[in-house]
Amino acid sequence: MPQLTAALVERLDALLCDADGNLFPSEEPAFVASADVTNRLLAAHDIPQRFTAEELRLATTGKNFRTTAVDLTAGAGVTLTDLDSWVAEEKTAVTAHLGAVLRPDDEVTTALSVLAGHLRLAAVSSSALSRLAACFTATGLDELIPPADRYSAEDSLRTPTSKPDPAVYLHACVELGISPERGLAVEDSVPGALSAVRAGCPTVGNLRFVQPAERAEREAQLRAAGVVAVVSSWAELTELLLPGLQQRASVLPAGGAR
């Protein structure tokens, strides 16, 4: 079983943070808006299946809408020819809703502020950059992870994809100028954890915003996906990382070069 060892912490350069369900509790409210668009898409293509927000969340957590739309229509034997227009419609609806309902979380802000003194922070997400922008502004995280350090499987790649494809993590590492083993990923979902692990990033599972009734099963799934540790909160992750990061800092030569 992989572990979050002192040697692993010593070589880290960056903290690669999944966004939805990890930095902020956006998944449940996002699915409220997304379910409406999803059901209208299914109706427009004469597919009888319908979803409540909770059913859609349980069926598709970790995927973006582009992948979900393709999977649902293909499963019904329908070729989706107007995908981009539906992606744009869902993006607009969800972005507006999240911008209105999300609020800052003191635990997340405190943890990121502390860890930013030792590691470069970046967001690595399946979500569109416009959705991330609304979420980061609403939760007060713009200064900690500015737009230049956000990477989207929907918008940052030449060919849009979604986790568990490792492409967005590989892209983020290239852009940050690090090898994957020097970026610690923090993920709440199994597709996200698989994306990071397949890219070669050591990965921590974070249950902070996972619903309590789902935590035991999610922890087992995250461990099976290959994470090096599972934490219940950002405070716990900070407690795990900070001693090693502080020890490393204390032995760095002048100027911080390693």
Q: Determine which helix (DSSP H) or strand (DSSP E) holds 183, and give its type and residue range.
A: strand 183-187
Check pLDDT > 70 for residue 145.
Answer: yes
State how far the Cα of 45 lies from the Cα of 42, in Å rounded to an integer: 5
The Cα 99–Cα 33 span in angstroms is: 12
Pair 193, 124: CB distance under 8 Å: no
Q: Is the pLDDT of residue 13 over 70?
A: yes
Give yes or no for residue 257 having a pLDDT over 50: no
Chain segment 211-256, per-residue pLDDT in tens: 999 999 999 999 999 999 999 999 999 999 999 999 998 876 554 4
At residue 35's C-alpha, the angle toward residues 154 and 172, to 5°, is 20
Distance between CA atoms of residues 121 and 17, nearest Å: 7
- Residue 28: CB atoms within 10 A of its CB come to 15
For residue 3, what pLDDT is reported?
Answer: 87
List pLDDT tens digits, range 35-81: 999 999 999 999 999 999 999 999 988 788 999 999 999 999 999 99
Residue 1: band (very low, low, confident or very high) from pLDDT cuts 50, 70, 90: low
Residues shown for the chain? 258
Cβ neighbours, 10 Å, residue 44: 10
Q: What's the pLDDT tens digit per position in 189-217? A: 999 999 999 999 999 999 999 999 999 99
For the segment 150-177, what is each residue's pLDDT rounded down to a tens digit? 999 999 999 999 999 999 999 999 999 9
Question: What mean pLDDT is predicted for residues 125-133?
Answer: 94
Dist. CA 232–CA 210, nearest whole Å: 9
Q: pLDDT tens digit string along 108-122?
A: 999 999 999 999 999
For 9, 17, 114, 115, 140, the CA distances from 149, given in Å and listed in that order, are: 21, 10, 17, 15, 15
Residue 61: predicted pLDDT: 80
Task: Give CA–CA dist 237/146, Å, rounded.
Answer: 22
Closest CA to 125 of 20, 21, 15, 233: 20
